[in-house]
A and B are shown apart, each in its own frame.
Chain A
């Protein structure tokens, strides 16, 4: 079985700084994997290498068996690799509904059409509204994104990723900045996704991680520290040392 997303021997330097160190990571079809690690471990850099926002210094990225290392971000997205951003990247001046319709239009190749009015396809609008409904955003459909609270914007970010109908979904701290009253919405929606979709989530909230993930990868200083099931990771003394030890160290300094 070919993996949904596979990276092999990935390295990335920023000048002399070795940010990503020989990372191997496989997302099987239907994977629910969490990527955790202390701040500055290179989690977002790794996502950027997967999506093509950054090019690796060496190594390969494979999407459903195809080498996409040299493909552009847009090509990867068209092949079914979707992501959300740690900090919202939305069309702030457009309405929520337009954000979704545009995404669907680009997904279906409709946006090459210069003549047909954008609103003339009810199927597109209906689909966009379905995605909004799943995140309870319909009431805000006609508001420009910039008028929404940050937490609500976060939901739009998720809705866009879902509207891409991805095969592989990378969620970069999806719940960051979302009020706890709404963060369960995101996980509910993600849980309800097609079980075939491979999902990688970066998250600091351990409750979310342990609820969501079936496998966990721990990244420390740009390299894979360890991998395993949530139970393995919970029980792993080294991981605890990386997280707690560091904090203990800092506290010792603070007190000293």
Chain B
């Protein structure tokens, strides 16, 4: 036995426990990976950097959502409100006030969105669950409609095109390929992410997790729950605002569509896809979603939503904790397989589960097919010629996917369930 293992054994449970907490916030080598990949992407896909910047912006937006959804358990489908506030802050500052310096611009976007988050959060966060969900949707919709009413200022749905911003640090010009923008957004993301990471591992971050886990207990131990929630909501709003500001700056263009329900829903899908409450879930989810959307929409401009939908079905059925959660389980599974593997036994309930999965998959396939048809130019065909063939195909595909996915899921879960008593 080596000295190291001997030492490990002599550590008391007490020391192990305190060591764990004391080290928990230290950087892990794997945390360098997403950043190295982002840098590598610049050299490998240097002609796609405009798209790359958009991915990084969506990552930042998803990180802001993770802070409130993944950590504090605040459920929202209106986070685009703050993204939009940030986006319009820099747009209007540049257009109406001639304030075109980019870095102070994103700070201003963050501050304005953060203040909005503070005020709105103070009112809304007395509620939880569905009520809160409705309020967040309503707030974003109200902003969008107000913007539409004053389209003389906001440009309405036509937007404010041709915005100009000063060179970065008065020196770096924006090039056609978006190279400058990419580094600019990446640096901003790094700063924001560092702040979020500090918050998550701070005592405040612990309190947020506590609120997510059990509000009654938080009240009983004397936590000012409402203020904790308002604080984190404002911080998250500020980060969403910074992402929105970067969005305007990198596109030199903004329209009221930034407030779309679609934007709020999309960022939530990205986060759930990647995994909530685990910081890097936003990186995985936003990247996978954006790349897939880009790729599929080029391959099939009418069908691309099916791919996204299928991925969601997979995520919901198979990866409740998101893609990153799967990676974690997979590595945990590998550790556990040292114990004897048990053979998988088919039982009636598994067959029932598969039947349910097939039905669910079919239903989801139908909905996706239906939604896909809605997006087409010839909407009438929805109920006429295109309806049977395409939608039936979707139902079949969805059902098949449901069966396959659930079979794999059952195999994995039943095996680990069988193993547990042995350990």
Contact = CB atoms under 8 A, between A and B. Distances in A.
B23 A103 contact: no
Interface residues of B, number: 37
A113 B222 contact: no
Contacts of A91: 209-210, 213-214, 217
Contact of A126 (B18, B217, B218): B18
A160 interface: yes
Interface residues of A, number: 48
A117 B201 contact: yes
A24 to B, nearest CB: 24
B198 interface: yes
A83 B220 contact: yes
A35 B60 CA distance: 54
A164 interface: yes
Contacts of B23: 119
B223 A74 contact: yes
Given A118-B201, A118-B206, A92 B20 contact: no
A77 interface: yes
Contact of B207 (A75, A102, A126): A102
A150 to B, nearest CB: 16
A77 B228 CA distance: 16
B202 A117 contact: yes
A179 to B, nearest CB: 20
B13 A125 contact: no
B219 A74 contact: yes
A89 B220 contact: yes
A115 B210 CA distance: 17
Given A93-B213, A105-B206, A119-B23, A51 B18 contact: no
B48 to A, nearest CB: 36
Contacts of B199: 114-115
B342 to A, nearest CB: 21
A77 B220 contact: yes
A78 interface: yes
B224 A74 contact: yes
B17 A129 contact: yes
B219 A119 contact: no
Contacts of B225: 74
Interface in A80-97: 82-83, 85, 89-94, 97
Given A125-B21, A142-B17, A77 B222 contact: yes
Contacts of A97: 17, 20-21
Contacts of B298: none
B21 A114 contact: no
Nearest to A139: B13
A120 B26 CA distance: 11
A127 to B, nearest CB: 11
A105 B219 CA distance: 14
Nearest to A117: B25
B214 A74 contact: no
Most interface-central of B13, B201, B203, B212 (chain A CB within 10 A): B203
Given A118-B202, A126-B18, A138-B14, A75 B213 contact: no
A239 B17 CA distance: 49
Contacts of A141: 13-14, 17
Contacts of A51: 220
Contacts of B231: 114
A15 interface: no
Contacts of A83: 220
B24 A119 contact: yes
Contacts of B177: none
A51 B221 CA distance: 11
A164 B210 contact: no
A106 B223 contact: yes
Given A94-B209, A118-B21, A119-B23, 5 more contacts: A106-B218, A107-B222, A114-B231, A125-B22, A141-B13
Interface of B: 13-14, 16-18, 20-25, 198-199, 201-207, 209-210, 212-214, 216-225, 228, 231
Q: Which 5 pairs from chain A and chain B are nearest by CB?
A: A77-B222, A141-B17, A91-B213, A119-B21, A78-B222
Interface of A: 51, 53, 72-78, 82-83, 85, 89-94, 97-98, 101-103, 105-107, 110-120, 122, 125-126, 129, 133, 138-139, 141-142, 160, 164
11 contacts: A89-B220, A90-B214, A91-B214, A102-B209, A102-B210, A111-B228, A114-B231, A115-B202, A119-B23, A122-B18, A125-B18
